[in-house]
Amino acid sequence: MKLFFTFLLLTLYTQTFAQTGNLYKGTINNKIKITLYLQGLNEGTNADQIIGVYKYDTNKDYILLNGYRNNNGNISFIELPNTNFTGTFLGTLTKNRIVGKWISANQTKQYPFELTEIVATKEQLNTFENGLVEKGKEFRNY
């Protein structure tokens, strides 16, 4: 029985940490360059949560993303740099692109965004996966 539970835990651990995501590069407002990483786009159903992080290419800090995709490819992500959300990404996912608008939390600013999936290196994926894990740890402290 002990062996069974050990095997079960190892299986769950491997599935959790073997998960890879999609990496996108693009712009907000046609000039602010960002890189965005999402996990969960290709797994499960549209009711399953999609998580990720993004960062401005000129900044090292990650911003947590939490969202969903519907049957039509529409996406909605809330950005959380800390415990207060600061903006929302609303857009459409088609093949390897996400296009839409970013809206500030107080709805006073709206900017178009456009992202294209890139073929990421293992190092790039690891960097963003680590950023996601670290951001998650940070939220446990709140």
CATH number at residue 48: 2.40.128.120
Q: Could you tell me if residue 121 is inside a domain? A: yes
- Which segments of the chain have a pLDDT < 50? 1-18
Specify the number of domains making up the chain.
1
Burial of 54 (0-12, 13-18, 19+ CB in 10 A): buried
At 45-62, the pLDDT tens digits run 666 789 999 999 999 999
Q: Could you tell me if residue 11 is inside a domain? A: no
Q: Residue 9's pLDDT is what?
A: 32
Q: Residue 106's pLDDT is what?
A: 95
> HSE-up of 23 (CA within 13 Å, CB side)?
17
Q: Residue 142's pLDDT is what?
A: 67
